[in-house]
Amino acid sequence: MKNILEAPFVEEMKKITANMYRQGWDERNGGNISYMLDEKDVAEYLDLNNVIRTIPSGFDATELTGRIFIVTGTGKYFKNVQDDPENNLGIIRVAKDGTTMELLWGYSDGGRFTSELPAHLMSHMARLSVDPENRIIMHCHPTYTLAMNYVHELDEKKLTHTLWETCTECMVVFPDGIGVLPWMLCGTNEIGEATAEKMKEFRLVVWGLHGIYGAGKDIDEAFGLIETVEKAAQLYMISAHLPRINTISDKELQIIAEGFGVKYRKDFLDL
Ligand code: 2HA
Ligand code: ZN
């Protein structure tokens, strides 16, 4: 059996949590990531018959029975993952009943997965239903995106449009737009269900006055989506109070979409 601390998926989780912490998006225990793994990859590092303990999740994820995820721990700090992955991360498998998680590795101080597991697993189900390649759900509190939540309407079309017209690359990176939820209590099955509903349509979902969710086939895709939104939100926040002289027009947004051959939300433009 190979050393789990050298597994590429553990390495990836260490690198991305450290990077996101450095961006200032994951203060204290803010943010969480879940990454669906291939059973055969995990089997090189762990005995899949050795369940350390079982942890009830409080919601039904029967569709994901047998699926294995590496997930950040509740109350754990992104900044600490790199130095102590075994305590701050866990590898869990969805048990047959769909509501129990089998711990295969990690959470070594007796901890458990993020309180946002309902939003994560329900979002995995939603994304897999439209994109079988999806592997990552990522949540964080990017500074400018969040600042924008206080000064911009929390409307999917308006928020997407403002970001699209702020930065040429936005239309290319998230032509499918951004879903938006109003402020809701986090850590609940309700916000999980609402997030998953949006995830059927969007890879990005803003949690109003809280943060953002990104989804993707790998860490680069999920991170790249959030990073691009955050860059555009930063440009918006440092320029929105100044007189606007130039902007990318809807016609130009259409030209970008057609030039790059991306399928975009035409209903989010006013042509
Ligand atoms: O896990 O970010 O949404 C801490 C959070 C809750
Ligand atoms: Zn959060």
- How far does residue 205's CA lie from ligand 1's centre (Å)? 15
Confidence bin at 263 (pLDDT 50/70/90): very high
- How far does residue 106's CA lie from ligand 1's centre (Å)? 19
Tokens matching residue 2: 């190979």
Q: Can 1-114 and 116-271 be said to share one CATH topology?
A: yes
Angle at Cα 130 formed by Cα 176 and Cα 72, nearest 5°?
Answer: 90
Domain ranges for the chain, please list them.
1-114, 116-271
134 in ligand 1 pocket by Cβ < 6 Å?
A: no
Location of structure tokens 């409307």:
155
- How far does residue 43's CA lie from ligand 2's centre (Å)? 31
Confidence bin at 210 (pLDDT 50/70/90): very high
31 in ligand 1 pocket by Cβ < 6 Å?
A: yes
Ligand closest in space to the Cα of 71:
1
- This model's pTM is above 0.85: yes
29 in ligand 1 pocket by Cβ < 6 Å?
A: yes
Catalytic hit among 102, 116, 165, 221: 116
Confidence bin at 88 (pLDDT 50/70/90): very high
Mean pLDDT of 204-213: 98
30 in ligand 1 pocket by Cβ < 6 Å?
A: yes
CATH class, range 1-114: alpha beta
- Using CA atoms, how far apart are residues 175 and 81, in angstroms rounded to an integer? 33
Nearest CA to ligand 1 atom 4: 30
pLDDT at 10: 99
Instruction: Look up residue 127 and give its amino acid.
Output: R
Beta carbons within 8 Å of 82's beta carbon, 6+ residues apart:
14, 15, 17, 18
Confidence bin at 19 (pLDDT 50/70/90): very high
Q: Is the dihedral of CA 213, 123, 174, 165 positive or negative?
A: negative
Considering the domain 116-271 in this protein, what is its CATH number?
A: 3.40.225.10
- Annotation marks residue 116 as catalytic: yes
Best substitution site from 116, 120, 183, 206 to test ligand 1's pocket, by max atoms within 8 Å of Cβ? Answer: 116
